[in-house]
Amino acid sequence: MTKETIDRIRKFTDDRDWNQFHTPANLAKSISIEASELLECFQWDETNYDLEHVKEELADVLVYCRNMLDVLGLDEYEIVNAKMKKNEAKYPVEKSKGNSRKYDEL
Protein backbone atom coordinates (compact mmCIF):
# COMPACT_ATOMS: atom_id res chain seq x y z
CA MET A 1 0.00 0.00 0.00
CA THR A 2 1.11 3.52 -0.71
CA LYS A 3 1.59 6.01 2.09
CA GLU A 4 -1.38 7.91 0.67
CA THR A 5 -3.72 4.91 0.96
CA ILE A 6 -2.47 4.10 4.45
CA ASP A 7 -3.13 7.69 5.50
CA ARG A 8 -6.60 7.58 3.98
CA ILE A 9 -7.45 4.48 6.03
CA ARG A 10 -6.07 6.03 9.21
CA LYS A 11 -7.96 9.27 8.65
CA PHE A 12 -11.17 7.33 8.05
CA THR A 13 -10.81 5.67 11.45
CA ASP A 14 -9.67 8.80 13.25
CA ASP A 15 -12.45 10.98 11.85
CA ARG A 16 -15.07 8.52 13.15
CA ASP A 17 -13.36 8.04 16.50
CA TRP A 18 -13.26 4.30 15.84
CA ASN A 19 -9.85 3.56 17.31
CA GLN A 20 -11.64 2.66 20.53
CA PHE A 21 -13.20 -0.37 18.76
CA HIS A 22 -9.99 -1.45 17.05
CA THR A 23 -8.55 -3.83 19.61
CA PRO A 24 -6.38 -6.55 18.09
CA ALA A 25 -9.06 -9.15 18.96
CA ASN A 26 -11.88 -7.15 17.35
CA LEU A 27 -9.77 -6.66 14.23
CA ALA A 28 -8.98 -10.37 14.09
CA LYS A 29 -12.72 -11.05 14.18
CA SER A 30 -13.26 -8.41 11.50
CA ILE A 31 -10.61 -9.85 9.17
CA SER A 32 -12.20 -13.26 9.58
CA ILE A 33 -15.72 -11.93 8.96
CA GLU A 34 -14.65 -10.10 5.80
CA ALA A 35 -12.67 -13.13 4.60
CA SER A 36 -15.88 -15.12 4.90
CA GLU A 37 -17.78 -12.56 2.86
CA LEU A 38 -15.10 -12.96 0.22
CA LEU A 39 -15.54 -16.73 0.41
CA GLU A 40 -19.28 -16.29 -0.03
CA CYS A 41 -18.59 -15.04 -3.59
CA PHE A 42 -17.57 -18.64 -4.34
CA GLN A 43 -20.05 -20.48 -2.09
CA TRP A 44 -22.03 -22.45 -4.67
CA ASP A 45 -20.18 -21.75 -7.89
CA GLU A 46 -16.43 -21.39 -8.06
CA THR A 47 -16.12 -20.36 -11.68
CA ASN A 48 -18.89 -17.81 -12.20
CA TYR A 49 -18.28 -15.12 -9.64
CA ASP A 50 -19.06 -11.44 -9.46
CA LEU A 51 -15.64 -9.81 -9.87
CA GLU A 52 -16.84 -6.42 -8.61
CA HIS A 53 -18.06 -8.05 -5.43
CA VAL A 54 -14.81 -10.00 -5.04
CA LYS A 55 -12.83 -6.76 -5.35
CA GLU A 56 -14.83 -5.09 -2.60
CA GLU A 57 -14.57 -7.98 -0.17
CA LEU A 58 -10.86 -8.45 -0.80
CA ALA A 59 -10.39 -4.71 -0.21
CA ASP A 60 -12.26 -5.04 3.10
CA VAL A 61 -9.87 -7.77 4.22
CA LEU A 62 -6.89 -5.62 3.24
CA VAL A 63 -8.22 -2.55 5.06
CA TYR A 64 -8.73 -4.48 8.32
CA CYS A 65 -5.26 -6.02 7.93
CA ARG A 66 -3.89 -2.48 7.64
CA ASN A 67 -5.81 -1.48 10.78
CA MET A 68 -4.25 -4.41 12.61
CA LEU A 69 -0.74 -3.57 11.44
CA ASP A 70 -1.33 -0.04 12.74
CA VAL A 71 -2.76 -1.04 16.09
CA LEU A 72 0.10 -3.43 16.76
CA GLY A 73 2.73 -1.09 15.32
CA LEU A 74 3.84 -3.69 12.81
CA ASP A 75 5.64 -3.23 9.53
CA GLU A 76 4.05 -5.14 6.66
CA TYR A 77 7.35 -5.53 4.83
CA GLU A 78 8.99 -7.02 7.88
CA ILE A 79 6.34 -9.53 8.92
CA VAL A 80 5.67 -10.73 5.38
CA ASN A 81 9.34 -11.22 4.61
CA ALA A 82 9.96 -12.98 7.91
CA LYS A 83 7.08 -15.35 7.14
CA MET A 84 8.22 -15.93 3.56
CA LYS A 85 11.65 -16.90 4.88
CA LYS A 86 9.97 -19.49 7.09
CA ASN A 87 7.76 -20.73 4.25
CA GLU A 88 10.76 -21.11 1.95
CA ALA A 89 12.44 -23.32 4.57
CA LYS A 90 9.27 -25.28 5.40
CA TYR A 91 8.48 -26.04 1.78
CA PRO A 92 11.71 -27.01 0.01
CA VAL A 93 11.24 -26.79 -3.75
CA GLU A 94 12.33 -30.39 -4.40
CA LYS A 95 9.77 -31.79 -1.95
CA SER A 96 6.79 -29.56 -2.60
CA LYS A 97 7.01 -28.93 -6.32
CA GLY A 98 3.66 -29.64 -7.93
CA ASN A 99 1.92 -30.92 -4.82
CA SER A 100 -0.20 -29.12 -2.27
CA ARG A 101 0.57 -31.20 0.81
CA LYS A 102 1.18 -29.41 4.09
CA TYR A 103 4.77 -29.20 5.30
CA ASP A 104 4.17 -31.81 8.00
CA GLU A 105 3.07 -34.32 5.36
CA LEU A 106 5.96 -33.75 2.94
Q: Quote the least distance from Cβ 96 to its own copies, whole Å.
A: 5
Are 41 and 53 in contact by the 8 Å Cβ rule? The answer is yes
Give yes or no for residue 68 binding its own copies (CB under 8 A). Answer: yes
Closest CA to 58 of 93, 31, 76, 29: 31
Binding-site residue total for its own copies (CB under 8 A)?
69
Give the count of beta carbons closer than 10 Å to the beta carbon of residue 58. 15
Q: Of 12, 53, 103, 106, which lies in the binding site for its own copies, with binding defined by CB under 8 A?
A: 12
Give yes or no for residue 62 binding its own copies (CB under 8 A). Answer: yes
Give yes or no for residue 23 binding its own copies (CB under 8 A). Answer: yes
7-38: b (≥16 Cβ within 10 Å) or e: eebeeebeeeeeeeebeeeebeebbeebbeeb
Binding-site ranges for its own copies (CB under 8 A) = 1-2, 5, 8-9, 12, 15-18, 20-21, 23-26, 28-47, 49, 51, 54-56, 58-63, 65, 68-69, 72, 74, 76-77, 79-84, 86-88, 91, 93, 96-98, 100
